Chain A
Amino acid sequence: MTWIILIEVLVKIALLLGGLMFAAAYLVLVERWIAAWVQDRIGPNRVGIPLTKIRLFGLGQPIADGVKFICKEEFTPGHVDRTLYTLAPIIMLVTALGAFAVIPFGSVLPPFPLPDGSTYQIRLILLPAFDAGILLFLAFGGLGVFAVALAGWASNNKYSFFGGVRSAAQLISYEVPLSLAILGVVVASGSLHLDHIILTQAQSGWWNIFVYPLGFLVFLVAVCAEAGRLPFDLAEAEQELVGGYHTEYSGMRLMLFLVSEFLHMVAASFLITILFLGGWHLWGITGSNELVGWGVALVRVIVLVAKVFLVILLFMLVRWSWPRFRFDQLMDLAWKVLLLWGIIHFVLAAGWAYAGVNQPMWLVAATNWTTLVIVWLITALVSPPESDNRPRREPAPVWSGEAVESPTS
């Protein structure tokens, strides 16, 4: 039996790595298309099959991008700490990929017979028996901070350093509301296993977004900040920091950073889908039992990936809709709003869990939605009516261009 487990794990790792790299490459293309469309442009539409004139709507663009990155000179500036400088992108990629070890890509394939007579069943997750999946996910997310901070530090460049420090502060701050939002869902489902969280949603038919809207909002904003997507991309604010923490990187190492950032976004979308949007569940199509036939198992994978893609599209639209936060606004949002919302969400979820599992779902949902409205209104009323943080002082008079008598004349 051990040989088949070995094969299963190797095949899964190969599929995961290949699929993720492929997805990251093509999501870059999608991101560029959406960026172009939002700006009334057409976007990449020229590169097709290499060495031919076939264009295919620009679907060959990722190949061109990859070849470009690989062929570029990988320049190491003389003033960097070489060990950390090389280590940082590796840590970044490893943590970004490692988070996918606990993400289920569907439910369970039906059991099939082996040559020796026994049956074998495959769960569509890299670590099926790992019960603290979501903790591992958070741990990898926390380790990702190291990569960014190390890259900023090792580059020995003030812009990189600013990017690294900003990113460290941001990621640590937003991990708190993120964990609280997850905690509420975990308490409600009674499991740290992502498969089980999906299953509870599928069996009740109530996705967590309908039952815990407050948690969903906190999670959406916090995970967007964790992934460093645009309203929260202070770590690489081009207008202020050249390129942020990867200013000094080039070639393959830069590509590792960029791919890892996309993988962060993909992982965040998977987590949103699994925790709040019902994972592979869709009413009337996928059923809610754990054991299904091949057809339904495949449909579940498709449903899950489609939901994830929609969430990614939302992230990409958000990127072009709102401007970047100022740093004090970023911290205000994390510590003054999201933290409180997260605590309220967690307390409510814990209260209903304490009351027992047999409560009617509509009642739980109704209390949560009412709380959301109340909390939102209170937040709106107590929030400052302006975002001006300029120092309140008399502005110095400025030179207006008129002639001044010189003291000697």
Chain B
Amino acid sequence: MSHAGTKKIRWVNETPLSPIERTYIPLVLQGLTTTVRHLVSKKITLQFPEERYEPADPIIYRGVHRLNRDAQGRVKCVACFLCATACPARCIDIVAGESPWPDREKYPVHFTIDMLRCIFCGMCEEACPVNAIELTSLYDLCGKSREEMVFDKNKLLLIYDWTKDDEPPLMQIFEQEAIREEPPEETQSWAAPEHPPFDHVAEKAAEMYRRDSAG
């Protein structure tokens, strides 16, 4: 009797044992040989503090955040709050102030990330329009107190200084590959760029992706 919206389940019987299997000798031997084979096989444990896990691709690994600096050593962030909005864990807290520099309107006076709340999903990195926040490949994050695990702007910039040589910012990688026809002028404002400044980066990334996937 089959109803609308319901499905009949089939009764699956257990495969019966053959007479030889019913003596249990092959099965018992099988169990013991499996155990002994694993007993002497190569161990896969990583002895952590001595041996360290190396992320296969540090660029795409989602570890501790950093705040990138621009060429002049200033914080790249423009305090647009897109990362804080995108954050599903709501761990980013930004206090914006008027920028002292002519190339942007705002800059972050405070920029704190609560690492205890962060789920390392990388959405802030995706949301950032100026590639200022990035996730590094540092994964052994620990602290002795909750306060210590709330990272402020200086700490995040410090992480950039530590990691910039091993993991250059994505922008820099793309810029090395891309041929810039017209470097944007220093005075150009973010509010109304004539050309979207990162289009060539997106094109270059798409081209790299096509090239990689082609072979």
Contacts and interface: CB of A to CB of B under 8 A. Distances in A.
Given A40-B38, A317-B36, A388-B13, A398 B47 contact: no
A385 B17 contact: yes
Nearest to B31: A321
Interface in B1-33: 1-9, 11, 13-17, 19, 22-24, 28, 31-32
B180 interface: no
Contacts of B8: 397
Contacts of A7: none
Contacts of B11: 394-395
Interface stretch (A88-96, A114-122, A292-300, A374-382): A374-382
Interface in A19-57: 34, 36-42
Residues of B contacting A: mostly: loop
A203 interface: no
B34 to A, nearest CB: 7
B45 interface: yes
Nearest to A41: B45
A395 B9 contact: yes
Given A40-B44, A380-B24, A387 B5 contact: no
B213 to A, nearest CB: 34
B5 A381 contact: no
A175 B39 CA distance: 32
B35 A38 contact: yes
Residues of A contacting B: mostly: loop
Interface string A364-393: 000000000000110011010111100000
Given A37-B43, A41-B44, A317-B39, A383 B5 contact: no
Contacts of B41: 40
Interface stretch (A139-147, A182-190, A259-267, A400-408): A400-408
Given A385-B16, A386-B14, A40 B32 contact: no
Interface in B56-89: none
Contacts of A40: 38, 41-45
B4 A39 contact: no
Question: In this complex, which of A385, A388, A394, A404 has the most chain B Cβ atoms within 10 angstroms of its Cβ?
Answer: A385
Q: Which 10 A-B pairs have the closest CB atoms?
A: A385-B16, A404-B5, A400-B7, A321-B31, A380-B23, A397-B6, A42-B45, A380-B22, A402-B5, A321-B35
8 contacts: A38-B39, A40-B43, A42-B43, A317-B36, A380-B22, A388-B14, A397-B6, A400-B5
Interface of A: 34, 36-42, 317-318, 320-322, 376-377, 380-381, 383, 385-388, 394-395, 397-400, 402-405
